[in-house]
Chains A and B, each alone.
Chain A
Amino acid sequence: QQPVQSPQAVILREGEDAVINCSSSKALYSVHWYRQKHGEAPVFLMILLKGGEQKGHEKISASFNEKKQQSSLYLTASQLSYSGTYFCGTDSNQGGKLIFGQGTELSVKP
């Protein structure tokens, strides 16, 4: 089952914050987050393992609620370079099968 991301699209001004949510109907081992810019390959941002941990990458961080099978990606003080499509990928207990959500298109304007 494909995870569901929300919102589908968001427009920000530089310096504003955003949250992207990812929800799955299946028990998860881990959640991955990737960013894809137009015409480029997806780039790995971070991975969260079951256990409710929160990880950070500069001003981008994420949380994972294992019981709710949900993850959220937090972008603070957004920069123009944050523009792109963000995908969450969910890895159930199967190992090696990463299923992606439909993506959230983020646009950061000056």
Chain B
Amino acid sequence: KAGVTQTPRYLIKTRGQQVTLSCSPISGHRSVSWYQQTPGQGLQFLFEYFSETQRNKGNFPGRFSGRQFSNSRSEMNVSTLELGDSALYLCASSSVRPGGHSYGYTFGSGTRLTVV
């Protein structure tokens, strides 16, 4: 069974630009979450999508946005990039219990974004 696929693996962008990251979840997983990982802040929750709807959002500015398509693939977009946005962005997918909670997440390998 294929894992969670994130593209691209590496990105270098200039301050002020925008970037779009892609995530293909495990087949059958309808919940997709995005995390920002940095050495100082650990794993920070960005947002979670379920059946094309954003169910949960973390404490990030509006420059960070995402969406989910009908095939559960998800994208996240960061506009007006800042140096502090340099991080590893991880996508995780999960199947969901009847009450809406996860059975456990499978993470992709991440996209390493460097803003210069």
Known A-B contacts A87-B43, A103-B42; A98 and B102 likewise in contact (beta carbons under 8 Å):
yes
Decide: B100 and A95 in contact? CB cutoff 8 A: yes
- The secondary-structure label for the interface of chain B is strand
Q: How far is the CB of A61 from chain B (nearest CB, A)?
A: 16
* B66 interfacial contact with A, CB 8 Å: no
A-B contact count (CB 8 A): 65
Query: How many residues of chain A are within 8 Å of chain B by beta carbon?
Result: 24
Complex Cα–Cα for A32 and B103 (A): 9
> What per-residue 1/0 map shows which CB atoms of B6-38 lie under 8 Å from chain A?
000000000000000000000000010101000
* B96 interfacial contact with A, CB 8 Å: yes
> What per-residue 1/0 map shows which CB atoms of B45-75 lie under 8 Å from chain A?
1001010000110000000000000000000
Q: Which of B97-112 contact A (CB under 8 A)?
A: 99-110
> Knowing that A30-B101, A42-B92 are A-B contacts, what are 19 other residue pairs whose CB atoms are under 8 Å apart, sorted by A's residue number?
A34-B105, A34-B107, A41-B108, A42-B43, A42-B90, A43-B107, A44-B104, A44-B106, A44-B107, A95-B96, A95-B101, A96-B33, A96-B101, A97-B48, A98-B45, A98-B102, A100-B35, A100-B42, A101-B42
